[in-house]
Structure 1
Amino acid sequence: MQQSLYDQDLYGWATQTARLVRERRFSEIDAVNLAEELESMGKTELRSLESRLVVLLEHLLKWQHQPEQRSKSWRRTLIEQRKRIGRLLDDSPSLRPKLPELLADAYDSALRWAADETGMDESDFPPTCGYSIQQLLDADYYPDT
């Protein structure tokens, strides 16, 4: 059984498929794999957003619960994650409605990471996210103790 170009060389397949689309040679397109790759791209963007939310939330928790440990590094991380999240949402506005559902899972991971990083117990942090989406995305928002 001969392998398809998709199975042999993903980059080559993607380049060829893009060329075929541009040339409107739709009958020659590997539609099944193209559909899978497009769906995969969307999932990758969603996972990237969730990952950035985890890092943002972890640093907000540390910022709020260990004010004596605040550093320029933490501030830079908050700035950078907010900037990257903003770019993701600008590039893919359809991700914005997904934020509430992503927030719960992201907070759970961030809580564990923050507890591990600080040496504090998970019960020292709120059990659910107390930050609004607006606060999370606000470049000027830094929680007080």
Structure 2
Amino acid sequence: MTQSLYEQDILLWAEDTVAKLKARDFEHLDLEHLIEEVESLGISQRKELLTRLTRLLEHLLKRLYVPSPEDYRGWENTIREQRRQLRFLLEAAPSLKRLWAVSFDRAWQAAYEDMSDAYPQIPFPSIWPYEGEIEVVLTANFWEREPPSHEGH
């Protein structure tokens, strides 16, 4: 059985597909793989949002609750980098903003569980104690603020 161009060289397949689309040669498109690739692009973007948000929240939790001043600078560098990458991602795919709340909740749960396992002696809050809006999460230095009151929680 002969391998398709897609199976032989995905980059060459992508270039060939773009050329066919530009030429409006729809009859010769490999629609099955084109659909698969477009679907996976959306999945990839959503996964990257979740992954970067989880990493950001993990480092925010460490910076906020783990008393290890010698690590603060490294954690803050990771926080800045994840924020930068999240801003780039949201600029490239603005529709991801509509998934922010659900992604934030999933990322928070994962970050909370991971940090609770990694630092069992630290009593991390079970819910994110600050604002969860995009701009706040991507800019605020929460460790420079007064800890939020837990009244009503």
TM-score with structure 1 setting the length: 0.87
| Larger relative contact order (Cα-Cα within 8 Å, sequence gap ≥ 6) | 1
- More helix by percentage: 1
Alignment-derived partner of residue 91 in structure 2:
90
Partner of 1:102: 103
List aligned pairs for 1:1-145, cutoff 5 A: 1-69=1-69, 70-120=71-121, 124-131=123-130, 132-133=132-133, 134-138=135-139, 140-143=140-143, 144=145, 145=147
Distance (whole Å) between structure 2 residues aligned to residue 125 and residue 72 of structure 1: 20
Paired residue type of 2:54: V
Q: One-letter code of the match for 1:113?
A: D
Q: Specify the SS of the correspondent of 1:71.
A: helix
Displacement of 1:141: 2.5
- Residues 89, 96 of structure 1: 8 Å contact kept: yes
Structure 1 segments unaligned to the other structure (5+ residues): none
Alignment-mate amino acid for residue 37 of structure 1 = E
Deviation >6 Å, runs of 4+:
none
8 Å CA contact 1:104, 1:128 repeated in 2:
no
When the two structures are superposed, what TM-score results if normalisation uses the length of structure 2?
Answer: 0.83
- Report the RMSD for the aligned CA atoms in angstroms: 1.8
- How far does residue 106 in structure 1 lie from its aligned partner after superposition? 0.7
- How many residues matched? 142
Q: Is the contact between residue 59 and residue 77 of structure 1 (CA under 8 Å) also seen in structure 2?
A: yes
In structure 1, the residue matched to 2:151 is none
Deviation at 1:4, TM superposition (A): 2.0
Residue type at the aligned position of 1:87: F
Q: State how far apart, in whole Å, the 1-side matches of 2:53 and 2:4 are.
A: 38
Q: Deviations over 1:36-67 (max 9, x none)?
A: 10110111111011100001101111111124
Q: Which amino acid aligns with 2:40?
A: S
Question: 1:72-123 deviations in whole A, cap 9, x for unaligned?
Answer: 11111111111100000001000001010111111111112222333435xx
Same amino acid, percent of matched pairs? 33
Structure 2 unmatched ranges of 5 or more: 148-153
